[in-house]
Structure 1
Amino acid sequence: MSPPSHLVVIGGGVQGSSVAYFASQMAPSHRPGKITLIEANSHLAPHASGKGGGFMARSWGDGTSTEQLHHYAFDKHAELAAEWGLKTYRKLPVLSVAGEGKKGFGSMRGTPNWLDGKGAGVRSMGDGSDTAQVTPGEYVEAASSRSGATVLLNTRVVGVELSELPDGEQAVAGVEIVTADGSRSVLEADAVCLSTGPWGCMAEDWFPTISSPMEGIKSTSVTFPARETANDAVALFCNEDSRFNTHLEVYPRPDGTVYCCGVGGSDYIPAAELRQGAFLSGCDPKEARVEAATATLHAMSDAYKGIAPKSSQACMRPCAPDALPIMGPVPGVAGAFLNYAHNCWGIAWAPATGTAMAELICLGETTFDLSAFNVERFGAPAKRGGRGRKKKGEAVGEQW
């Protein structure tokens, strides 16, 4: 199999930048002639890839179809962090915290210095040998810059051009794009990879041979500023706190800031809305959940009482019905590949999923077992009239 002459990767987050990077690292004889990375917003990592916690755990997928992704990616993250000089990567232990209680913390060895409020106890979930963190925005910038890809920002893909093959199947011929000024054009390409997170359901509009059900779980997260006293590097997974309806995940970062998610009140965005581009240009946090996260942290930490959040944000977790990723080729369309729906593990799995997709695109096969993630597991699509891919100059798809 010959590598593509031009690979277009749609989506400038951690998944898209990983595909671009690992494709660029293939042997010269298998490397794409050109790689273009397209992002609809004004900067890379505008959604979950720039707003997520960046937590990873090597063994937390053991015994499941995603074990291979956890293992490979965890080890590769460490290699890349050293090679790229990432400042935000580090291994760190994890504690389970029962925060709703009246006694103080600190009785267990390893309890961080800033967990000094009232609670019901802590227990270890890992000593840091197989748990780590990275601030995902730094990873995305490093991967994209090292890929050598042409990066197109403020550019939306509105369709995929297909050509007919002699055997009756089809092949990617290009993508139609719309720039910020409204100009439309076709970018010729012989391979396209959709790394479009919750908006992956738009693949149904461009490739009507597939069914790609998706849901976006839109959640608020909060970042607290650094204190004068450095925080111990310990991540917390907190039990449900009925006082605030939260189940915080707390990640202190190397720069001293503290990132909190699991603040409750998530919204579930159906595929019908996502296919129309819902929240593609951004989404706002819920102020009530910011207040709940702040109250929860203040209850657990006297050190943080009186400290207001530095920032708050919201992003969407891309989730298929079975909570597994959608990865692999589009049946019947040569040069078309899907890589999305990575749920809460998209950042953690990125080196593995990027490697697997690069191998598929450039070699036609991969060393990873992706059988559980094939889009064909959802069966044939429901009949859709008047919609489809961009073909032969006729616009018939929604924007991404």
Structure 2
Amino acid sequence: MITHALSPVHTRLASFSSLRAATTTTLQMSAAPPRHIVVIGAGIQGTSVAYQLHKRSASFPPHSSITILESQAVASAASGKGGGFMARSWGNGVTTGLHELGFDMYEELCAELNVQSYRKLPVLSVAPGRPPSNKGNQQSVKERNPSLSDVIPDWLDGSVGRISPLGLGEDTAQVTPKEFVEKMMDRMMNANCSDGGLSFKLVMGTCTGIDYEEGDGSKSITGVRYTANDKEHTLEASDVIVSAGPWSCKAEHWFENSVQLPMEGVKSTSIVWKPPLDHEGKLKSVDATALFCGEDERFGTHLEVYPRPDGTVYICGIGGSDYISTSDLQSSAFLSSCPPKPDRVTAATSAFHAMSNTYAQKGELQTVQACMRPCPPDALPYMGTVPGYSGAYINAGHNCWGIAWAPACGRAMAELVLDGECACLDLNPFDPARFTTSSKRGGRGRKKGSLSVGEQW
């Protein structure tokens, strides 16, 4: 094979061509008008979108900005009250990419952001049990399951039935979502912004509408209207991304009914146990194993149990959920206050006490709360553009996997906004315009592939 080295003249010409191309790109960016992107919602989804946009600051023209508009507080709803469980291989069909990309990104982002609550952990399926008839010859849970003794937690020392592994920690993990949101927010807030560089801010207020200009067959976004302290305000905007959880269905009115976003809010109670104490009153460590428990007819529960690195234990799957209609969500139902159900707290406590003598004897509740997960009729998220508008996007309705998918959704929406298309995922199944009217309900619960394993109601 004959090779030809470039002559010095050709080398200089190649270098000059590269420099000219780079200079042309820089000039084009400098000449482009600034982009002012407004993300509605400061939960884990909205903040993830803003963070992934912020990480691509070099893609913005000078004097551009990213603003998050939030009506309550950062991570005030499900993002501040969710369990934070993720599973790489539990996707099914169109959600496979969301599971895999989200899981992989979490490991990278949590290291980047110094998130302390992220860790991989094993997961067990646990059937409810009954008290043994012969208490004098009772084997421990570990003795009855010797092949799983290394991952069965010490606090699982009560009455349980069959135990089997759902994951041994290679593709299952957890994070405390509120910490993840706050770390992303802090990074954007504290980023050094040189003169003319990309700026970021958080604005507290309630969105009331979208401003636009007509032209070229579409409506171009120009602003986002909101109220704060009983006064009307407008944020300048070239782009708007609605990512307000179950209340994102309000966008039907903001976009003058050009898109219909049927949504059901599944309002569920959850509880958090304090770290246990030993006989000297010191904090005991809590084994890092999550549990997905079968339905316990005695209490009407289907517990999901997540021990956290700080020693607390988060429990959901308590049952008795309420289903909030689209029209009620559009009227801000449970936006500012989302109370738990006392009877479900009692049921969950009883179910957990039956499983764990440790917590039955020495456990103490720390937090009792409730939140909503957003569920479209087909249980798939809305991710994409709003028809008839230029610069308008929806990223909402992620059901019970919204926390696990958040990094992937953030990257996908950032690519769509900045590049005009998404390269990391196929967003076609999540088209926000796929519904006109529908009353069909999809699956509400957590699944491993097509197998129901988590809270189903």
Pick the aligned partner of 1:18 from 48, 58, 61: 48
Tell me how many residue pairs correspond in the alignment.
376
Deviation at 1:145, TM superposition (A): 2.0
Pick the aligned partner of 1:82 from 111, 116, 120: 111
Correspondence for 1:151: 202
CA distance in structure 1 between the aligned counterparts of 2:45 and 2:330, rounded to whole angstroms: 19
More helix by share: 2
**What one-letter code is carried by the residue in structure 2 that aligns with 1:173?**
T
Correspondence for 1:375: 432
1:130 aligns with 2:160: no
Gaps of 5+ in 2: 1-28, 133-139, 190-199, 278-283, 439-457
Gaps of 5+ in 1: 382-400
Q: What TM-score comes out, normalization by structure 2 length? A: 0.80
Deviation at 1:99, TM superposition (A): 1.8
Q: What TM-score comes out, normalization by structure 1 length? A: 0.91
Residue 28 of structure 1 aligns to a residue in which SS?
helix
**What one-letter code is carried by the residue in structure 2 that aligns with 1:140?**
V
User: Are the counterparts in 1 of residues 59 and 418 from structure 2 also a CA contact under 8 Å?
Assistant: no
Cα deviation 1:136-171 (Å, max 9, x = unaligned)? 000001112223420112x10110111111x23101
CA distance in structure 2 between the aligned counterparts of 1:29 and 1:278, rounded to whole angstroms: 38
1:186 aligns with 2:234: yes
Correspondence for 1:388: none
**What one-letter code is carried by the residue in structure 1 that aligns with 2:120?**
K
CA distance in structure 2 between the aligned counterparts of 1:269 and 1:380, rounded to whole angstroms: 17
**What one-letter code is carried by the residue in structure 1 that aligns with 2:435?**
F
1:215 aligns with 2:264: yes
Correspondence for 2:95: 66
1:359 aligns with 2:415: yes
Residue 273 of structure 1 aligns to a residue in which SS?
helix
User: Are the counterparts in 2 of residues 102 and 120 from structure 1 also a CA contact under 8 Å?
Assistant: no
User: Are the counterparts in 2 of residues 54 and 134 from structure 1 also a CA contact under 8 Å?
Assistant: yes
User: After the TM superposition, which residues 281-360 of structure 1 pair with which residues of structure 2 at under 5 Å, given as runs?
Assistant: 281-306=336-361, 307-360=363-416
Deviation at 1:4, TM superposition (A): 6.0
User: Are the counterparts in 1 of residues 128 and 293 from structure 2 also a CA contact under 8 Å?
Assistant: yes
1:163 aligns with 2:193: no
Correspondence for 1:94: 123
Correspondence for 1:140: 181
Structure whose alpha-carbon radius of gyration is higher: 2
User: Are the counterparts in 2 of residues 95 and 125 from structure 1 also a CA contact under 8 Å?
Assistant: yes
Q: Cα–Cα, structure 1 residues 380 and 255, in superposed 2: closer, same or farther, change >3 Å?
A: closer
Q: Cα–Cα, structure 1 residues 3 and 117, in superposed 2: closer, same or farther, change >3 Å?
A: farther
Deviation at 1:332, TM superposition (A): 1.0
1:231 aligns with 2:290: no
CA distance in structure 2 between the aligned counterparts of 1:291 and 1:105, rounded to whole angstroms: 25
Residue 377 of structure 1 aligns to a residue in which SS?
coil
Q: Cα–Cα, structure 1 residues 262 and 9, in superposed 2: closer, same or farther, change >3 Å?
A: same
User: Are the counterparts in 2 of residues 4 and 361 from structure 1 also a CA contact under 8 Å?
Assistant: no
Residue 259 of structure 1 aligns to a residue in which SS?
strand
Deviation at 1:112, TM superposition (A): 0.8
Correspondence for 1:251: 306
Deviation at 1:320, TM superposition (A): 0.2
Deviation at 1:380, TM superposition (A): 7.5
Pick the aligned partner of 1:29 from 44, 55, 59: 59
Structure 1's consecutive aligned runs of 4 or more residues displaced over 4 angstroms after TM superposition are: 1-4
Residue 318 of structure 2 aligns to a residue in which SS?
coil
| Cα-Cα RMSD | 1.6
Deviation at 1:56, TM superposition (A): 0.3
Correspondence for 2:451: none
Q: Cα–Cα, structure 1 residues 130 and 3, in superposed 2: closer, same or farther, change >3 Å?
A: farther
Deviation at 1:98, TM superposition (A): 0.6
CA distance in structure 2 between the aligned counterparts of 1:342 and 1:312, rounded to whole angstroms: 24
Correspondence for 1:56: 86
Correspondence for 1:395: none
User: Are the counterparts in 2 of residues 298 and 305 from structure 1 also a CA contact under 8 Å?
Assistant: yes
Counting aligned pairs with the same residue, the percent is: 51
User: Are the counterparts in 1 of residues 262 and 437 from structure 2 also a CA contact under 8 Å?
Assistant: no
Deviation at 1:33, TM superposition (A): 1.1
Deviation at 1:105, TM superposition (A): 2.2
